[in-house]
Chains A and B, each alone.
Chain A
Amino acid sequence: MRAEELKGHLDAVLLAALEDGPRHGYAVIESLRQNTGGRLDLPTGTIYPALRRLEQAGLITGSWSVVGGRRRREYRLTAAGTRALTGKRADWLDFSAMVSAALEGRPCPSPV
C-alpha cells in the first residue's frame, strides 16, 4: 500500500503500533511492517513528523534515552491517545464494513 492510500488513517496506524508499549521511531516502522506483512510502503522519514504531530496533539508522549551512545526518542500512548485509538478503530470497522457491503452488493451490517 502506498502512502497516499493510507492518508487519513496514518494516525490510527501509528497509535496502534504504540498500543503494546513504548517504541522509538524505527521500532514503530518495524512493527507496522511486521503487522502488515511488509505491505505498507511508507517513506520512513515521514513517520517521524507524524509522530511529532501526534505528540503535539497530546495523543502520545516522547522521552529521550541514550542507546549505544546515540540519543533515542521513545514514544508512548497517553490516555487521550488510547481513547483516540479506540474511536478510530471503531470508525474504521464501520467504514470498512460499509464499503465492503457496497462493493460486494450485500446489506450493510448495523454500526457497532
Chain B
Amino acid sequence: MSEPRLISSYLAVLAAQLPAPIVEELADGLTETHRSYLQQGLAPDLAAESAVAEFGEPQAIVAEFARVNPARRAARRLLGIGPVVGACWAAALITDRAGTWPVPLAARILVGVALITIIALLAAAALSTRYRLAARAGVAGCIGIASLDAALITGVTFASAPMTWVMAGAMVASTARIAFAARSLVPALAR
C-alpha cells in the first residue's frame, strides 16, 4: 500500500531538519500508528490525519531531538566549565605579567576574536531548538575550544614564559578541557 500524501509530507518536514536514521525510526512509528488506525476501521485519509495528529507538531519533535543532541549537551558543559578555565588563565597571565610579553597586538586580537566566536557557537548549540544548527555549532565549538586551548599551551611554551604553579594549573585545566572536548566529539559526530 502506498504511503498517504499527508504522511509523506509530514516525514518530508522532519527529513529536512533531522538526520536520516532518526527520520527512519519516526517513519516506522508513524506507519505503525497509521496501520493501527486503519485496523480500527478508519478510512485511509482519516487514519493518516489521526496518526499525524497523534505524533504531534513536527517542530516540537525536532526541538526535543535538538535538546537530546550530544553536541548540545557538550556545549552546555563547556560553557559551564569555561569560567573556571578562564579564571585559571587570567590568574596565570596576571601573575606572570603577560602584558609585558613580546606578543604582537594582532595575535592578542586574534585570540580575543576566536574566544568570542567560540562562545557564540557554544551558546547557539546550547540554546537552539533547530537540530542541525545545534549539532553543527556544537561540533564547531568543541573543535574551536580545543584548538584555542592547544594554541594557548603551545604559545606559552614557546614564549619561554616562567613556569609558575599558577601557569601549570592553567595548562592542566586547558589540557583537561581538550580531552573533554575530544571525547564529546565522538558521540556528536556519530549522529
* Main DSSP-derived SS at the B contact region: helix
A70 at interface by CB-CB < 8 Å: yes
For A71, the closest partner residue in chain B by CB is B24
- A-chain residues with CB within 8 Å of residue B26 when the two chains form the complex: 45, 48
CA distance A89 to B112 in the complex (A): 50
> Which residue of the partner chain, among A43, A48, A56, A70, contacts B22 with CB atoms under 8 Å?
A48
> Chain A's nearest CB lies how many Å from the CB of B130?
14
Say whether B68 contacts A43, CB under 8 Å.
no
The winner among A26, A46, A49, A67 for most chain B CB atoms within 10 A is: A49
Q: Which of A12-60 contact B (CB under 8 A)?
A: 24-26, 29-30, 43-46, 48-50, 52-53, 56
> Chain A's nearest CB lies how many Å from the CB of B56?
3
Say whether A44 contacts B68, CB under 8 Å.
no
Q: Chain B 28-53 against A: per-residue CB contact (8 Å), 1 yes, 0 no? A: 11011100100000000000000000
* B interface residues, how many (CB within 8 angstroms): 26
The winner among A26, A44, A46, A72 for most chain B CB atoms within 10 A is: A44
> Chain A's nearest CB lies how many Å from the CB of B51?
8
* Main DSSP-derived SS at the A contact region: helix
B187 at interface by CB-CB < 8 Å: yes
Q: Chain B 176-191 against A: per-residue CB contact (8 Å), 1 yes, 0 no? A: 0000000000010000
Say whether B65 contacts A52, CB under 8 Å.
yes
Say whether A73 contacts B28, CB under 8 Å.
yes
CA distance A67 to B35 in the complex (A): 14
Say whether B28 contacts A71, CB under 8 Å.
yes
Say whether B25 contacts A48, CB under 8 Å.
yes
- A-chain residues with CB within 8 Å of residue B25 when the two chains form the complex: 25, 48, 71-73
Say whether B55 contacts A44, CB under 8 Å.
yes
CA distance A26 to B187 in the complex (A): 25
Say whether B33 contacts A44, CB under 8 Å.
yes
B61 at interface by CB-CB < 8 Å: yes
The winner among B22, B64, B67 for most chain A CB atoms within 10 A is: B64
> Chain A's nearest CB lies how many Å from the CB of B35?
9
> Chain B's nearest CB lies how many Å from the CB of A37?
17
CA distance A29 to B29 in the complex (A): 10
> Chain B's nearest CB lies how many Å from the CB of A33?
10
For B58, the closest partner residue in chain A by CB is A45
> Chain B's nearest CB lies how many Å from the CB of A105?
39
